Chains A and B, each alone.
Chain A
């Protein structure tokens, strides 16, 4: 027999608005961390306070957030065998995504603007040939896949027009231990993909820079794509690690001065674009964040050991994270916002 109370509760539930990010305190960011020997995903305010944290079964890499609902998809560190769809209100595991046989997740993903489709960066494990997996988001079942346009795709972002841009890093890796297999012959590229998986445009670097793996992406001003690279060539050559691409044109590279470029140790771990269009890059190896003008001109370096996560702050500047648990604000200088007893992992993800 249905009690009056349960009927009322049911009616109340019907009247409730759809779950939203407000239900979890409106976090601005998501970031994965290692706490002791456990791994968690945190929701952060713009001040760097943790609003909630959810357990992860293994080391996370990046996450992507649903545009409206308080859902996050946390991706495992590459080569990934899982992605977790989490309800950020209570940490409930909504779904566990497993790549199809012979595929591996590669650490990043993106939702479509309407939230109906999830795109995942993947490789065919045996060949490192890139794929973008397509998942519907009501039950998170796989709908299909499309070629990513290169080897070893890593970051994937949705552009304002709904198309996707993919950083095909170019590196073929051993499916078991991440050993790099093709460094002399690697050919990274940027690929523009329509929502239904058609390759619309591609751009590659000058052949002399074929060992500069394009790995991370951020959307810059004027519909340009800012991309961050990791140099697999001679460590003594301090090559540019930032580039800008407008589809339809050749990419341009943005070097730092000769006194500053070597400090990055040939490695950019994260990239973000601030509200004023400034572009930030981090290097955990060099312990350095570098900031560039919207046009790619070098502006400043900020030293901080093991700095990696980077995202735009709503009121200007960047939020950065490091492996010692600090969250920092980078404007013209760098100041600490919070210090947590954990190690922040590679990326900070901005919520829509």
Chain B
């Protein structure tokens, strides 16, 4: 008598639960995060090896670009080891509207060279380190940094290689398991599988917001005051490339998290097609009406992608996004 009831109950419960709760998080870990961080660590290690051999900016540009490409594949993941000890900020300090990075590097170059060692460099301001610091050294602007830039390049690449390797190791040795064992006893980080799914969904939505509001929004400024000088990595002319790579990375995260989401896929593909067609590497077009319109349309299609995703994914994943984070007061 009791037994069929329990069976019926457990059947009903299993039907009510979201499908393949664990597979989606595991897929993100195995196919997206772990390979992404491993590739980043390899690229940064190769960049450092190249810099220690030859610090000539032109020779280093390809390895720096490869490292930045690899970073863009994981840059949207604001959880776990990258958030701790300022690792993510020390890899990529942007936006920097007050020019803190340049000022900090200038101070380092003006200081006593003997005090600059790999150990002391790791304690410098995050603004003076990472990919954007290297861009200022490898792609000098009109007010190029003066001094022993070769030593500073080598310290910066070594620091980048060290921190990216740390992140890859910490993911492999702990954080990946935190996500995949969500809800199991002894997992203090994620108290349920739903929490892990929600954390990943949040990376998607905030990643798209950052693309629209920061990577495109900052150079767009206002119609009366466009700010092409605020485009990310405009000195190396990879502003648009970063947008494209970030869209591809976010699409990859979504496909692993929620494979059956045709509307979100279509929205991503539409945004990617617009980015590909733009042909404006440094987003300099923000300053002329026709170019500006095309960048604004890309921005709109990124926001539409976020809307599509927010309509399609939460019911599938059985989670919403931040009840308090969204409200604010």
Contacts and interface: CB of A to CB of B under 8 A. Distances in A.
Contact of B325 (A154, A323, A345): A323
Contacts of B125: 258
Interface residues of B, number: 30
A154 B327 CA distance: 15
Interface of B: 79, 83, 85-86, 89-90, 95-98, 125-127, 188, 191-192, 194-195, 198-199, 202, 213-214, 322-325, 327-329
A236 B327 CA distance: 21
A94 interface: no
Given A269-B324, A322-B324, A344-B324, 4 more contacts: A258-B126, A258-B127, A259-B90, A343-B323
29 contacts: A34-B323, A61-B329, A77-B327, A77-B329, A230-B328, A234-B97, A236-B96, A257-B86, A258-B127, A259-B85, A259-B86, A259-B90, A269-B328, A285-B325, A285-B328, A303-B83, A305-B325, A306-B322, A306-B324, A307-B324, A324-B198, A326-B191, A339-B192, A343-B323, A343-B324, A344-B324, A345-B323, A346-B324, A346-B329
Contacts of A326: 191
Contacts of B213: 235
B175 to A, nearest CB: 11
A305 B98 contact: no
Contacts of A258: 86, 89, 125-127
Given A258-B86, A258-B126, A305 B322 contact: yes
Contacts of A260: 86
A113 interface: no
A115 interface: no
A323 B323 contact: yes
Contacts of A259: 85-86, 89-90, 126
Interface in A216-265: 230, 234-237, 257-260, 262-263
A217 B193 CA distance: 35
A343 B214 CA distance: 30
A267 B191 contact: no
Chain A CB within 10 A, most for which of B85, B89, B202: B89
A323 B191 CA distance: 13
Interface in A160-177: none
A200 to B, nearest CB: 27
B325 A324 contact: no
A285 B97 contact: no
A329 to B, nearest CB: 11
3 tightest A-B contacts by CB? Answer: A259-B86, A323-B323, A284-B324
Contact of B198 (A236, A284, A285, A305): A305
Contacts of B86: 257-260
Contacts of A263: 83
A345 B323 CA distance: 8
Contact of A267 (B85, B192, B194, B328): B328
A107 interface: yes
B208 to A, nearest CB: 15
A78 interface: yes
A257 B322 CA distance: 26
Given A78-B329, A236-B96, A305-B195, A345 B188 contact: no
Contacts of A308: 324
Contacts of B198: 305, 324
A323 B126 contact: no
A41 B85 CA distance: 38
Contacts of A323: 322-325
B194 A324 contact: yes
